[in-house]
């Protein structure tokens, strides 16, 4: 199978597995961020189907702050070999 100099089947499986985990991570991050900012910014009585101006600017800032928390925690974990 791997007669040429390319990666072995085993290495390929590893590579596909890593790519899959990476995508799952991003999807999970996006979903948690979406729910966290919905909880922080959206008025739960749902009087209207539209986002109002206050909600819109809250969402933009919320995404930005969540992103910063992700980076901040990432730096902290980066300094810890056990992660």
Question: Binding residues for another protein, per CB under 8 A?
Answer: 6, 10, 12-14, 16-42, 44, 46-51, 55-70, 72-74, 76-77, 80, 82-83
Shortest reach from residue 30's CB to another protein, in Å: 6
Nearest approach in angstroms of CB 33 to another protein is 6
Q: Smallest gap, in angstroms, from Cβ of residue 3 to another protein?
A: 14
Cβ burial 19-46 (10 Å sphere, 16+ → b, else e): eeeeeeeeeeeeeebeeebeeebeeeee
Q: Chain centroid to CA 59: how far? A: 16
């Amino acid at each position: 199978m791997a007669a040429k100099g390319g990666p072995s089947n085993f290495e390929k499986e590893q590579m596909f597995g890593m790519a899959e985990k990476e995508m799952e991570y991003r999807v999970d991050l996006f979903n948690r961020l979406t729910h966290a900012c919905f909880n922080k910014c959206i008025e739960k009585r749902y009087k209207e189907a539209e986002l109002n101006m206050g909600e819109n600017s809250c969402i933009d800032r919320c995404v930005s702050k969540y992103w910063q928390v992700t980076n901040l925690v990432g730096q902290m974990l980066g300094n810890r070999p056990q992660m």
